[in-house]
Structure 1
Amino acid sequence: MYKSVSHPSSPSMISELSKISLICALYVIITVWLAPISFAAIQFRFSEMFNFLALYHKRYVIAVTFGVIIANFMSPTWFLDVPIGGVSTFLVLILCRYVTKRLENDIIKICITAVIFAISMFTVAAQLTILFDLPFFYTWLTVGVGELLSMTIGGVIIYWLAKKIDFTK
């Protein structure tokens, strides 16, 4: 008759918040630790591997989005990077979940997600073009290639981890 609603302090809610917080914190720590290669026209943001977790469970859309927002406060272009990077990440994660939801093969899901994220780097290129008068298409290419490289390496790691850890739970 009545639908059961989890109390905010229920074990399942605490478990969800813990998983979200853990991935958010890992994203921030890895991005900041590797800051010299995490922010620029040529970048390798290794923490982008956590984007793939959103393919396994929607909670990771929130985790990665907040991780990006917090990490982007460390960016030299934080005043644009925080809102644009946060919104862009959220929308692209939703898009990737939608595009891959009917696919069974995790490798294909990972490849599609990596390509979509690499293409989405036009937002970073636009910021750098506006702020530093860099050439848009060349900057999009360099940031996109860096994203594709970091997502490819991260995809292999997440694929391997998904064989050991059930990210859907």
Structure 2
Amino acid sequence: MKNKNVAFMTQAAMIAAIYVVLTYIFAPISFGEIQVRIAEALTILPLFTPAAIPGLFIGCLLGNIVGGALLPDIIFGSLATLIGAVFTWLLRSRKPIIGTLPPIISNVVIVPLVLRIAYGVNLPIPFLMLTVGIGEVISCTILGLIVYYALNRYRNTLFPKAAAM
């Protein structure tokens, strides 16, 4: 049981750290009305391990803080990632492309409201939903599936059953 908890926490911490680093490195395209957050490619990881759920949430939370996001963005942007991660985990028995949908949907619904309320972006909500959605499809689906197929070959090595819930 102890090894199971250590493996879970280690995986979550590594995922959070990678998310933060990717958000920081690609900060110029990770924030704003039109954004492609490269770190969102990691939202595919709940298909491999439940440790990705807290890892992605904490990574997004810290990435938003380090990136200088405003408090509503830190809170609600991170919650959008958490919601997406939970539902991706719930869809883990489906085709991988289906697992990319929850983070896209949660971000398309939440982030435009954050942009409007927190940052005062005065563009129509449907337009913001479109721009956020395009960025999420690029990150979560295109890049996420690249990550998925690159890691799937090594899934038993990288994500042993000991880390499962």
Shift of 1:64: 0.7
Aligned to 1:80: 72
The normalised TM-score by structure 1 is 0.82
Q: Give the distance between the partners of 2:84 and 2:24, measured in 1 at CA.
A: 22
Q: Is the 8 A contact 2:49 2:159 kept in 1?
A: yes
Q: Give the distance between the partners of 1:61 and 1:43, measured in 2 at CA.
A: 22
Q: Is the 8 A contact 2:23 2:63 kept in 1?
A: yes
Aligned to 1:143: 132
Alignment pair present for 1:128 and 2:120 = no
Aligned to 1:117: 103
Q: Is the 8 A contact 2:23 2:37 kept in 1?
A: yes
How many corresponding residue pairs? 155
Relative distance call for 1:37 and 1:20 in structure 2 (3 A) is: same
Alignment pair present for 1:158 and 2:145 = no
In structure 1, list runs of 5 or more residues that go unmatched.
none
Q: Give the distance between the partners of 1:161 and 1:42, measured in 2 at CA.
A: 28
Q: Give the distance between the partners of 1:50 and 1:146, measured in 2 at CA.
A: 14
Aligned to 1:90: 82
In structure 2, list runs of 5 or more residues that go unmatched.
161-165
Aligned CA RMSD, in angstroms, stands at 1.8
Alignment pair present for 1:68 and 2:60 = yes
Aligned to 1:48: 40
Q: Secondary structure of 2:66's match? A: coil
Q: Is the 8 A contact 2:47 2:88 kept in 1?
A: yes
Max Rg structure: 1
Instruction: Identify the range of structure 1 (86-95 vs 36-45) with the bigger mean alpha-carbon deviation.
Output: 86-95
Question: What is the percentage of aligned positions where both structures have the same residue?
Answer: 25
Higher RCO, Cα 8 Å, sep 6+: 2
